[in-house]
Structure 1
């Protein structure tokens, strides 16, 4: 059994006991969270697709840790003008472990 959930503007295919990194969600390690935006739910051969979400379906998860992604460098240079700009960015992420899928 697996589900497709939407969180942080992205879609994730998850099953029980999966560990995924998502956009930052408030909470401490060990906190329980629930994802209500379930786009698709499958159980064996039977698939249920929502319009846009599956009614009554939810995915429960536990926060493992709050972390940061890799550093991304945005470097801009204009030729012959001695003009350049370097900026870095690290995205805040939350690592969650899926504990179950309810329908």
Structure 2
């Protein structure tokens, strides 16, 4: 089974063909196919390729949906003042389906 490590949105993800992945928001419409070319590692059954810093491997992914993640609660508390503040944040995310890995 082959897999790759890709970098998108400042984070690294280990993916293989058919995986569903939630990444930071990409400005692409739903249903479009995008190419991710920032591949850091390629692992096949018998060989391992490590990029310096990247490889010439391309990963094709289909944009399944654009959505917002779960709400994160952030709190601030000032002791001795009896003051506290709770804030929330919901990150915009993109769900991708990996459709193919093309290794050169």
Q: TM-score surpassing 0.5?
A: yes
The match for 2:44 is 43
Moved over 3 A (4+): none
* 2:88 match: 88
CA distance in 1, matches of 2:46, 2:71: 41
- Give unmatched runs, 5+ long, in structure 2: none
Q: Which digits, 9 at most, give the CA deviation of each residue in 1:53-90, with x for residues without a partner?
A: 01x21100000000111101111111221222221100
Separation of aligned partners in 2, 1:48 and 1:77: 49
Residue 20 of structure 1 deviates from its aligned partner by 0.5
Does residue 67 (structure 1) correspond to residue 70 (structure 2)? The answer is no
- What 5-or-longer segments of structure 1 have no aligned partner? none
> For residues 28 and 95 of structure 2, what CA distance do their matches in structure 1 show?
11
Tell me how far 1:101 sits from its aligned partner. Answer: 0.4
The answer to whether 1:28 aligns with 2:19 is no
Q: Distance in 2 between matches of 1:27 and 1:35?
A: 13
Distance in 2 (alpha carbons) for counterparts of 1:4 and 1:45: 17
TM-score, normalization by structure 2: 0.94
- TM-score for the superposition, normalised by structure 1: 0.95
Which range moves more in the overlay, 73-82 or 45-54?
73-82
